[in-house]
Amino acid sequence: MQDSSPTAGGGRTIRDIPLPDTQATQALGHALAPLLRAGDAVLLEGDLGAGKTTLARALLRALCGSPDMEVPSPSYTLVQVYDAPLAAVAHFDLWRLDGPDALHELGWDDACEGIVLVEWPDRLGTLAPPDALHVRLLHTADGGRVARLEGWGARLAQAGDMGMGERS
């Protein structure tokens, strides 16, 4: 695990998790699911093709307890809502969003009472939840990726290695 410190960035924990392949990205989604609770936001950042939707699909399937559940990309609908046992989960893809004002029409306020997963969170503007977990998917020189998790303070710091073989 690479951890700037348990309180890096004013109480924000930072962890780097290697993602050498799609299976590792899916495993991260499954490992994050038990950490979530109603009111949480997970902001998925990264270039096109970085694995945001793959991670979101795995996380949604784990939250809903349905490994074969169909999880369409919300690229055109902008939001898909799922009934998970823990809470309703809204998966937003904001790539095509004109600006944060349009989020209210998509039910952003109600969605935040459950769990929100947001691809392209830079389009949230001031609506970005300050206590969200930021997951940045970064390409590495060897052709793999790294997930940089930032936020959640002690909750993320105490999550163990999440079975992911984190970098030291």
Which pTM was predicted?
0.85
The answer to whether residue 159 is domain-embedded is no
pLDDT of residue 2: 41
The answer to whether residue 127 is domain-embedded is yes
The answer to whether residue 97 is domain-embedded is yes
The answer to whether residue 69 is domain-embedded is yes
pLDDT of residue 57: 94
Nearest by Cα to 64 from 88, 38, 91: 88
pLDDT of residue 88: 96
Q: How far apart are CA 168 and CA 163, in angstroms?
A: 14
Q: How far apart are CA 27 and CA 137, in angstroms?
A: 14
pLDDT of residue 13: 80
Structural domain count, the chain? 1
The answer to whether residue 48 is domain-embedded is yes
Residue type, 95: W
The answer to whether residue 85 is domain-embedded is yes
- CATH code where residue 129 lies: 3.40.50.300
The answer to whether residue 157 is domain-embedded is no
Residue type, 150: E
Nearest by Cα to 46 from 146, 122, 118, 138: 138
pLDDT of residue 33: 93
The answer to whether residue 6 is domain-embedded is no
Q: Please give the residue range of the domain that contains residue 31.
A: 15-150
- How many DSSP H helices and E strands does the chain contain? 6, 7
* Torsion-angle region of 30 (φ positive above 0: left; ψ -120 to 50: alpha; else: beta): alpha
Residues lower than pLDDT 70 in the chain: 1-12, 74-76, 158, 160-168
